[in-house]
A and B are shown apart, each in its own frame.
Chain A
Amino acid sequence: MSSTTAERAAAPDTAPPSEPSYLTAENTVASWLLTKDHKRIALLFFVSITFFFFVGGAAATLMRLNLATPEGLLQPSVYNRMFTMHGIIMVWFFLIPSIPTTFGNFFVPLMIGARDLAFPRVNLGSWYVFNLSGAVVLYSLIMGGADTGWTFYTPLSTSYANGYVFAAAMAVFINGFSTIMTSLNFIVTIHRMRAPGMTWMRLPLFIWATYAVSVVMLTATPVLAMDTFLLAVERFIGVGVFDPNLGGDPILWQHMFWFYSHPAVYIMILPAMGVASEIIPCYARRPIFGYAGMTVALMAIAILSFFVWAHHMFVAGISIYAGVVFSLLTFFVAVPSAIKVFNWTVSLHKGRISFDAPMLYALGFVLLFTIGGITGLMLATLGVDVDVHDTYFVIAHFHYIMVGATVSAFFGALHYWWPKMTGRLYPEMWARFAAILTYVGFNLTFFPQFILGYLGMPRRWYTYPAEWQSWNLLSSAGASILAVAYVLPLLYLGWSLFWGRKAGANPWRATGLEWSTPSPPPTHNFERTPVVTAIPYCYDPEHDSFVTQEGARYAG
């Protein structure tokens, strides 16, 4: 028995597909830039968000270099701009679009058995709008950046702003249109384009997660759009919507901002949950535990996410009663989240587990999400929050969720679906090494920040007392390991594009419809419309057999 799943799988069938793959169907530059194929658009998005990931990462590198010593490296004003641009770029230009625009775009039609998304032109338009907003944020960055923090709190972002706050806010405003176009497309596609037999309770959980996140995107983003629009009106024209001198209320900005931005945190984590729910059953060779509970939990998180925003504002002068209510509501979100962690864990029980790279990433996701979630509960507690508010404890908490969990899941999805997207297998041992390195590097970077936060180090400060240097140095050292772990896949995945082994249609012996079509898929996905007869994740660990969603049984 060989060590990796790919080697155990049957040799790829050599019969040539009747249609050319989506990658080779047309080769001109125009055929890529004007494509309506959801798979090509997914790759276009992949290129854009990877670029912004490294721009945001460069800002983070400068921050960690600066914090390695108490004396620092950057001017305080430069440091302010670096953490602001790091936040803005990472949140809106990498994390929010990351999994939906790439793997969602690529696999929603494939997993539900459709030939494309409902509105292919809207999909392409979304990419262009995204790049337009990206150009605006790069303009803001190159001209000197904003220094308000990614939250644009008024009046810091209006009356007292230096730098290119207006450009940065407009970039976020334009970016919202891209988000809305993509989410609208997913909702309509999942409602109307499912293959025969693909009922709601037979949908893979990644589709459920994409649906849940699309609902949140669609309903939260317009509020931010109005919010940033009013901010721009105030900053550009000089009327006072949030300016107390003109009768406005600066706290209103915080309410409106978090009404979007708390759901935005769930926009980042929900697709990652979907990815984990695909990977874990496949590599444990066991059906997902509690499928119905998983779907309910996803939708519950999506809905509850709209009722917790003021827990960001416990020290902003909201009433104590509002604080108590929002603290309680925040605890409610922990219930569906805990259901999910429990179900992923039980899904391993009596499984035939193989620790391939996607599985390592998925298990890393579950562990980091659990740590991030539990520290989230600590922060939801009123008394604790007042103590550690605006310290590195908060930074560490949300990085465990947004970077630890979401980026792990992003890389897990990238490895899991790489053979389908490119037709090539990645080098397994390198990938496992990168997965473990990610986990080690991440914990080294961010666990010290929990301790620093508890000791009282405030966030967004460019300097600190000398006795905190060892923790900060540890964090910076971990960041350098994390950087290697993030660059590594770029190298060996790029290598595999040319020299990797050819993948068959279903290298991981998985059950979803996306694996029933050749790798890489032909332009219109399926030679014939698939007919679904089975629930997803019909794996049998005892006999090492599985049943695809089309009802075909494969023995071990």
Chain B
Amino acid sequence: MPDSVALRPEIQYANLEQQGDTAQLGMWVFLVNETLFFGALIFIYFMYRMTYPHEFAEAAQDAVLWCGTVNLVLLLTSSLTMVLAINSAAQGERRQMIRWLIATAALGIAFLLVKGYEYHLDFQSKVVPVVNFETKAGEGRARQLFWVFYWVGTGLHAIHLIIGVGLVLYMLLWRIRQGKITAVYYAPLEVVGIYWSFVDVVWLFLYPSIYLVGRS
């Protein structure tokens, strides 16, 4: 297992520095696109929330607050460990980097486990539209709209997080094992880090929208 190998840039780049810069810009540009993707959903959510404030506040009572909050803590911590991993990579501390990356992936998986348990609780309290949904007496039909956004929003976020965990594992099991992440060239890790933080930021918007509505 080599600690590092001599890397050469791909044919279209003049040097590794240009390659790394370009890869990072590519991720930032991709995140502009992702921002508008989630932005459209959050925009629709707020439009309907303003249209049906009471229904949405009432529906949000059934959201499992502790699950969302634990997940907020897990994900924020994972962004910290991700940054520490990149920092270790920049300093050439290979073992440290691997340790922080394992912690990042573990926190991401923990988030998904909590989310899965929360989905289980949601199913039991009958808030899964179409599949298992109970309309309570005296409630407007818009209550179901809230839950549509809950499932679409958290579902898409979970898919993004699964991809993020996959990328971290790919770094650990492939790129780092091959010795392709070094203090000289660790741009791929930074690209994954930028993506990871974005997934984190999406939760920062979803969390108050879903769990804190009408709980003041």
Binding site for B on A (CB under 8 A): 109, 114-120, 180, 184, 187-188, 191-193, 218-223, 225-227, 229-230, 233, 237-241, 245-249, 252, 256, 524, 529
Nearest CB in chain A to that of B55: its residue: A247
Residues of chain B within 8 A of A119, CB atoms compared: 26
A247 to B142, CA, bound (A): 5
B44 lies within 8 A of A230 (CB):
yes
Q: Given the known A-B contacts A222-B34, A246-B141, are A238 and B22 also in contact in the complex, defined by CB atoms under 8 Å?
A: no
A188 lies within 8 A of B37 (CB):
no
Q: Given the known A-B contacts A219-B33, A222-B40, are A192 and B47 also in contact in the complex, defined by CB atoms under 8 Å?
A: no
A116 lies within 8 A of B12 (CB):
yes
Question: Nearest chain A CB to B117's CB is how many angstroms away?
Answer: 23
Nearest CB in chain A to that of B147: its residue: A239
> Is B29 an interface residue, CB under 8 A from the partner?
yes
Q: Given the known A-B contacts A114-B12, A219-B32, are A248 and B40 also in contact in the complex, defined by CB atoms under 8 Å?
A: no
B22 lies within 8 A of A193 (CB):
yes
> Is B73 an interface residue, CB under 8 A from the partner?
no
Q: Given the known A-B contacts A222-B37, A524-B11, are A241 and B21 also in contact in the complex, defined by CB atoms under 8 Å?
A: no
Taking A239-B130, A245-B141, A247-B144 as known contacts, 20 extra A-B pairs with beta carbons closer than 8 A to each other, sorted by chain A number, are A114-B12, A117-B12, A118-B22, A118-B26, A120-B12, A184-B29, A192-B18, A218-B33, A219-B33, A222-B34, A222-B37, A226-B40, A226-B41, A233-B148, A239-B129, A240-B144, A241-B145, A248-B48, A249-B48, A252-B44
Question: Nearest chain A CB to B123's CB is how many angstroms away?
Answer: 15
A116 lies within 8 A of B144 (CB):
no
Question: Nearest chain A CB to B16's CB is how many angstroms away?
Answer: 13
A119 to B12, CA, bound (A): 9
B129 lies within 8 A of A256 (CB):
no
- Between A and B, 10 residue pairs with Cβ closer than 8 Å are A114-B12, A116-B12, A118-B26, A119-B26, A193-B22, A221-B33, A240-B145, A248-B145, A249-B48, A524-B11
A250 to B152, CA, bound (A): 19
A501 to B192, CA, bound (A): 51
Nearest CB in chain A to that of B12: its residue: A116
Q: Given the known A-B contacts A119-B26, A239-B148, A247-B140, are A222 and B33 also in contact in the complex, defined by CB atoms under 8 Å?
A: yes
**Contact with A226, one of B10, B32, B37 (Cβ below 8 angstroms):** B37
Q: Given the known A-B contacts A184-B26, A237-B130, are A227 and B21 also in contact in the complex, defined by CB atoms under 8 Å?
A: no
Residues of chain B within 8 A of A248, CB atoms compared: 48, 145
A237 to B140, CA, bound (A): 20
Nearest CB in chain B to that of A119: its residue: B26
A247 to B144, CA, bound (A): 9
Question: Nearest chain A CB to B118's CB is how many angstroms away?
Answer: 20
A252 to B149, CA, bound (A): 15
> Is B46 an interface residue, CB under 8 A from the partner?
no
The 8 lowest CB-CB distance pairs between A and B, nearest first, are A222-B37, A247-B142, A116-B12, A226-B40, A222-B36, A192-B22, A223-B40, A115-B12
Nearest CB in chain B to that of A187: its residue: B29
A188 lies within 8 A of B32 (CB):
no
A225 lies within 8 A of B37 (CB):
yes
Q: Given the known A-B contacts A219-B32, A247-B52, are A188 and B40 also in contact in the complex, defined by CB atoms under 8 Å?
A: no
Residues of chain A within 8 A of B33, CB atoms compared: 180, 184, 218-219, 221-222
A118 to B41, CA, bound (A): 30
Which of B10, B21, B29, B52 counts the most chain A CB atoms within 10 A?
B29
Residues of chain A within 8 A of B148, CB atoms compared: 233, 239-241
> Is B25 an interface residue, CB under 8 A from the partner?
yes
A184 lies within 8 A of B30 (CB):
yes
A469 to B192, CA, bound (A): 62
A119 to B30, CA, bound (A): 13
Q: Given the known A-B contacts A192-B25, A230-B152, are A252 and B142 also in contact in the complex, defined by CB atoms under 8 Å?
A: no
Interface residues of B in 15-61 (CB under 8 A from A): 18, 21-22, 25-26, 29-30, 32-34, 36-41, 44, 47-48, 51-52, 55
Residues of chain B within 8 A of A524, CB atoms compared: 11
Residues of chain A within 8 A of B12, CB atoms compared: 109, 114-118, 120, 193
Residues of chain A within 8 A of B38, CB atoms compared: 226
Residues of chain B within 8 A of A192, CB atoms compared: 18, 21-22, 25
A247 lies within 8 A of B26 (CB):
no
B130 lies within 8 A of A238 (CB):
yes
Q: Given the known A-B contacts A117-B12, A218-B33, A252-B44, are A246 and B144 also in contact in the complex, defined by CB atoms under 8 Å?
A: yes
A114 to B22, CA, bound (A): 13
Q: Given the known A-B contacts A222-B34, A227-B40, are A188 and B22 also in contact in the complex, defined by CB atoms under 8 Å?
A: yes
B26 lies within 8 A of A188 (CB):
yes
Residues of chain B within 8 A of A114, CB atoms compared: 12
Q: Given the known A-B contacts A114-B12, A227-B40, are A247 and B145 also in contact in the complex, defined by CB atoms under 8 Å?
A: yes
A223 to B40, CA, bound (A): 6
B152 lies within 8 A of A233 (CB):
yes
Question: Nearest chain B CB to A319's CB is how many angstroms away?
Answer: 15
Question: Nearest chain A CB to B37's CB is how many angstroms away?
Answer: 4
Residues of chain A within 8 A of B141, CB atoms compared: 240, 245-247
Question: Nearest chain B CB to A87's CB is how many angstroms away?
Answer: 23
Question: Nearest chain A CB to B27's CB is how many angstroms away?
Answer: 10
A229 to B159, CA, bound (A): 14
Residues of chain A within 8 A of B130, CB atoms compared: 237-239
**Contact with A239, one of B22, B52, B144 (Cβ below 8 angstroms):** B144
Residues of chain A within 8 A of B52, CB atoms compared: 247
Which of B32, B37, B52, B140 counts the most chain A CB atoms within 10 A?
B37
Question: Nearest chain B CB to A439's CB is how many angstroms away?
Answer: 38
Question: Nearest chain B CB to A183's CB is how many angstroms away?
Answer: 8
A239 to B21, CA, bound (A): 44
Nearest CB in chain B to that of A242: its residue: B44
Nearest CB in chain A to that of B156: its residue: A229
